[in-house]
Amino acid sequence: MNWKWLRLSPPQILVLGFAAIILIGSFLLMLPISTTSDEPLSFIDALFTATSATCVTGLVVKDTGTFFTTFGQVVIMLLIQVGGLGFMTMATLFSLVLKRKISLRDRLVLQEAMNQNSMEGIVRLIRKVLLFSLLIESCAALIFTIRWAFDFPIGKAAYFGVFHAVSLFNNAGFDLFGGFRSLTGYVYDPVVNFVAMFLIVSGGIGFIVLSDLVDYRKNRKLSLHSKVVLTMTATLIVVGALVIFVFEFTNPRTLGSLNWGGKILASFFQSVTPRTAGANTLDIGGLRQATQFFIIILMFIGASPGSTGGGIKTTTFTIMLGAVGAMIRGRDDIVIYRYRLAQDRIFKALTITLLALFLVVAVSMFLSTTESGSFLMILFETTSAFGTVGLTMGLTPHLTLVGKLVISFTMFAGRLGPLTLAYALGPKKGKELYRHPEGKMIIG
């Protein structure tokens, strides 16, 4: 992992690394051995699928379960795993296996990839990331295998178990059931629902929080970051389930046809999946418009930092709420759990939110001129791509060539984060040696 000759910054290395993986995946998916069709997959469709897998999104233009062969599906699964954990994490794994030294520059890139404030303990964190991922995915794959052994031959059940464990833990949303059905056939199944929700949440809260939870018995305390992530994640899931339950209770296309147990289970699953998972047990296109717009908000918020998910992140949303609360109360500081937040954290949260909002609005406006569909459908698709969620109201298979390219870029930007992408593409500037005089503006 020697990047010195490239003379690139950590954000630029991340952008180029993910782009290289996407291109490799695209060419592999274009091979005749990857598809069941007599005609090879077009480059644009291969690029879209590889981008969706590497950026752990789950939006698909071709049915994963029927269009791709086992080889193609394995390629997609590997892209999901590498994209979810990050290519630098996988590169570090090979370095550790080969007992190579992790250089300072590698640690800087890892720090950027894991969204850490310092390099301290970064290699130790990577070891935990790999261990947690392998352990959680293996346990979930075993449970899925046992459950699906009642529906399929044992070999197919094991294959389905591994694929969906990897897909759901990495918040990807790809499935092998065919017909773009996702998990709608298991809306009543408690095993599939609870294991899937556990995978989505554990992959979405971030590896730092998972590490804190594992060490809790020894330390008897959680960091401020973990407290905020767990509190906000639980709040969004509970509030989301309640809103979906109320809005869809009488909708015959969704909850209306289910019994009470099915209504509650489906409400919680549809509230969990906007954590950027992309799997669904209800027909997303059949939801009422109010529910669809509410899910757009949940997808925009997304998962948590240092996780396999996208969005502006739960911590960013918490800081924005804290800023509003502090301003209303006339306070100078944002205080969360008796800790005052530094000003640079507030500026970063504001920057990320505005950049994300600008990206979603700009892409939605552009797609409104190229795609046939309602504005809500286009906004839903765009936000799903930015949040690397993978939920769709049915627009994805009907995207135009331009639409596929734009959505691919949106997934790429959402996975890396708009701020990282801006750092990578923007010119390098040194620290200013002067400050301008303070000015006054009327606001509000």
Q: What is the DSSP string of 97-139?
A: HTT----HHHHHHHHHHTT-S--TTHHHHHHHHHHHHHHHHHH
Structural domain for 203, as ranges: 9-422
Is the per-residue pLDDT at 13 higher than 80?
Answer: no
pLDDT band of 38, cuts 50, 70, 90: confident
pLDDT of 436? 73
Beta pairing partners, 35: 68
Is the per-residue pLDDT at 256 higher than 50?
Answer: yes
Question: Is pLDDT larger for residue 47 or for residue 127?
Answer: 47
- Cα dihedral 224, 225, 229, 235, rounded to 10, equals 30
pLDDT of 133? 86
Q: What is the CA radius of gyration of the chain?
A: 22
Tokens, residue 308 = 């396999």
pLDDT of 277? 87
Tokens, residue 22 = 């996407």
Task: Say which residues have a Cβ less than 8 Å from residue 276's Cβ, sequence separation at least 6.
Answer: 56, 171, 204, 299, 302, 303, 308, 309, 310, 311, 387, 388, 389, 390
Asked whether residue 162 is assigned to any structural domain, the reply reads yes
pLDDT of 3? 45
DSSP state of 222: -
Is the per-residue pLDDT at 207 higher than 60?
Answer: yes
pTM score > 0.85 for this model? Answer: yes
Contact 75, 27 (CB under 8 A): no
- E strands, 269-375, are 335-336, 339-340
pLDDT of 87? 53
Asked whether residue 3 is assigned to any structural domain, the reply reads no
Which of 410-442 are b and which e, b meaning 16 or more Cβ less than 10 Å from the residue's Cβ?
Answer: bbbbbbbbbbbbebbeeeeeeeeeeeeeeeeee
H-run or E-run covering 200: helix 190-204
Asked whether residue 436 is assigned to any structural domain, the reply reads no
Question: Is pLDDT larger for residue 426 or for residue 19?
Answer: 19
Q: Tell me the angle at which helices 87-97 and 122-148 cross, rounded to the nearest 10 degrees.
A: 100
Asked whether residue 113 is assigned to any structural domain, the reply reads yes
Identify the top-confidence range among 19-23, 159-163, 423-427.
159-163
Is the per-residue pLDDT at 1 higher than 60?
Answer: no
| Mean pLDDT in residue range 350-376 | 94
Contact 44, 401 (CB under 8 A): yes
Question: Is pLDDT larger for residue 305 or for residue 258?
Answer: 258
Where is average pLDDT lowest: 95-104, 115-124, 253-262? 95-104
Identify the top-confidence range among 34-43, 80-89, 397-406, 423-432.
397-406
Contact 376, 259 (CB under 8 A): no
Asked whether residue 391 is assigned to any structural domain, the reply reads yes
Determine the Cα–Cα distance for residues 158 and 186; give it in Å rounded to an integer. Answer: 17
Determine the Cα–Cα distance for residues 335 and 326; give it in Å rounded to an integer. Answer: 8
Q: For the chain, what is the mean pLDDT?
A: 87
Determine the Cα–Cα distance for residues 210 and 132; give it in Å rounded to an integer. Answer: 8
Q: How many other C-beta atoms are found inside a 10 Å radius of the C-beta of residue 5?
A: 6
Asked whether residue 57 is assigned to any structural domain, the reply reads yes
Contact 190, 265 (CB under 8 A): yes
Q: How many other C-beta atoms are found inside a 10 Å radius of the C-beta of residue 260?
A: 8
Question: Is pLDDT larger for residue 95 or for residue 53?
Answer: 53
Asked whether residue 427 is assigned to any structural domain, the reply reads no
pLDDT of 5? 42
**What is the total count of domains within the chain?**
1
pLDDT of 433? 67
Determine the Cα–Cα distance for residues 272 and 265; give it in Å rounded to an integer. Answer: 11
Asked whether residue 76 is assigned to any structural domain, the reply reads yes
pLDDT tens, position by position, 213-247? 888 888 788 889 899 999 999 999 999 999 999 99
Is the per-residue pLDDT at 289 higher than 70?
Answer: yes
Determine the Cα–Cα distance for residues 26 and 46; give it in Å rounded to an integer. Answer: 5
Q: How many other C-beta atoms are found inside a 10 Å radius of the C-beta of residue 320?
A: 18
| Mean pLDDT in residue range 401-408 | 96
